[in-house]
Structure formats: C-alpha cells, structure tokens
Amino acid sequence: MTLYRTTGILFVILSFSLLLSAQDTTTKATEEVKTTIKDTCDPASAWSFKKSVSLFLAQNAFSDYFKGGGINSIALGTHDEFLLVYKCQDRSWENKFNFKYGIIKLADFPFQKNEDLIEFDSKYNHQFSKHLRLTGLFNIQTRFHDHYEIKKTGERGKLIGNFFAPAFINVGSGLDYFIWDKAFSIYYTPINSKITIVNDPDLAPQYLPAELADRGVRYELGTLIRVEIKKEIMENVVFQTIGNFFTNHLNSFGNFDVDVENKIDFKINKFLSANIVTKLVYDEDILFDLVDSEGVETGVKGPRTQFQERFNIGLSHTF
C-alpha cells in the first residue's frame, strides 16, 4: 500500500470472548455450627466497554496575491479509543486500544500521512490498601503502514517507519500508588522488560544500535516509572497526561528514555469537541541525520529531543 493512494484505514475488528469469575469463601466454625460465606462477581456486570471516536478536519486556502503569505493545505485525522474494563472487588483489568491516523495535503503535493499509531495497553491490578495496588503492565505501540518524513518544503522525505518497524513493547509488574479517586497514579517497577522490534532491515539503523541492527530486535531490562493524571479541571474540560520514564539497568543506567503526552479535551456539545495535544520523546537509540544551520546533512547521526503539538476540532462521539 503506497502513501499516495492512501485515503483511509480498514481497522481490524477485535473481538474478545472473556469470562472471569472470582470466589472467596470464609469459614467460621463453632462446636455445633459451621458457616460458609461466598462472595462472587457476576461476569456480566463486572465488564464495561466504552468507545470514543473523533474525526478532525483542518483547511487553509490563500489566493495568489495574498500579502500574508501561506500555503494551501487540508488535513484529516481520526483519534479512536476503546476501553474494556473488568472490575471485581479489589481486582481490576483495564484494556485500552488507541488508534490515531491522519493525512495532510500541502499545496500541489499528494496526500501524505502525518500521524499514525496503533497502541494496546493492558493493566491488571490487585488493590491491597487504600492507595496501593500490585500491577502487571503490558504495552505495545507500532504503526499501520509506511510512514515518511515530511520536509519543510512540503515534499515527502525518507521512509521512517512501517508496521512493526519499529514496535515498542513494555512488560513488567510493580507497585501502583494512586490518590484523588485514582485520578493521579505513579506506577513503579524495577523489573520492566523493554523490547524494540524493527522488522525492516533498512530502518533498523534508525532505531537500534549498530551491533543489533542485523538482528532487528533489542531486549532491555530496567526500571520503568509511569505517571498518569486524568482530571476534570473545570466543567467539560479534562486534562490528561501519561509519562513513561525508562532506564536500562545494564547499559547507561540513569539515562532515561522519555515519552510524555499531555492532552486537554474540551467538550463543546454532544458531538463537537476540541483538544490540544503535546508529545515529548527522547530516546538515545533513535537516531537522526543531523543537519547544519542551512539544513544540509552533515553525515553525522545522533539522538534528538522530539516534540509535537496539535490543536484539533471536529466531530466526537462517546458511547
């Protein structure tokens, strides 16, 4: 599938057939009476499913003699989130599917992709005190298909990603501390496994150390700290942030890979919404072709801080 011919994405239908039940029996005995108490959860009521689908459109147009300058553009994108949650007594299982996809057309250039994300995040929790729970975490992120950089001139640049090139996987278990009715939480694990997969040999040097580029995969063991906040700061305005900080125990311990996303959602009415999204990423293993002050490549590669900011307004529906 080429980027020029892309006008949409067919989402894979994800189906689940899940059945969990829990039974807790407490026995009290006396000389003549023995009482058994059962506490069970009904799977039908323990599961909940929430869907949020948003469609965003942005457009700019300028006449040939417009003094303010500018470039004609049109952008279309979708942000879709599906949340499947199981709650029973002191246990919960949260499964989030997150899809982002966007295309943009600049001037006379063909449509190009400017956003692409597939993410699955799963957390199993066992709460053992008012503010603490044991948590198992699994997270995977990748792209739908070929992704190219967009040059400042509007032209398509080199290939920088495709499906499972790269894919980032985090697996671990640790402690999750939460307050404000779970609106703020800090998850910590000293035994997190981070796996980077790049199934395209041409892309491997961009995401893996030189000695691992031929293998197409890297395994890291380290510490992961995740900070999550989701709070309604005023009526119909929700602030949300997710920050992941990982350091490798065996290589450059203390140097953190950083991935922080902040979002403010504004609910205008039942169908219209707007949001502001910022994303900050730093990973020493993600390399860029460095350029000089005039934009000419120097032949040197190195890591750089990555930052993205978006303002979206469009149709949104939660059900």
The pLDDT tens digits of the residues spanning 66-101 come to 777 678 899 999 999 999 999 998 999 999 999 999
Query: CA–CA separation, 95 vs 112, rounded Å?
Result: 31
Record the pTM.
Answer: 0.81
Residue 295's domain spans which residues? 119-318
Distances from the Cα of 73 to the Cαs of 60, 109, 111, 296, in angstroms? 5, 10, 10, 26
DSSP label at residue 207: H
Question: What was the pLDDT predicted at 217?
Answer: 96
**Do the domain assignments include residue 20?**
no
Query: CA–CA separation, 221 vs 170, rounded Å?
Result: 10
Dihedral sign from CA coordinates of 252, 255, 256, 257: negative
Closest CA to 145 of 6, 277, 310: 6
Query: CA–CA separation, 256 vs 261, rounded Å?
Result: 16
Question: What was the pLDDT predicted at 183?
Answer: 93
**Do the domain assignments include residue 145?**
yes
Kindly state the tokens that stand for 25: 């029996």
Total tally of structural domains belonging to the chain: 1
pLDDT of 165 higher than 50: yes
Q: 275 Cβ partners below 8 Å, 6+ apart? A: 54, 263, 264, 265, 266, 311, 312
Residue type, 243: G
**Do the domain assignments include residue 139?**
yes
| Span 18-45, pLDDT tens digits | 323 333 333 333 333 333 334 567 777 8
Q: How long a stretch of residues is the chain?
A: 319
Residue type, 200: D
Kindly state the tokens that stand for 287: 């390399």
Query: CA–CA separation, 184 vs 100, rounded Å?
Result: 24
Q: How would you classify the pairing of strands 132-142 and 167-179? A: antiparallel
**Do the domain assignments include residue 309?**
yes
Query: CA–CA separation, 156 vs 153, rounded Å?
Result: 9
Query: CA–CA separation, 41 vs 46, rounded Å?
Result: 7
**Do the domain assignments include residue 26?**
no
Please indicate whether residue 291 or residue 27 has the higher confidence score (pLDDT): 291
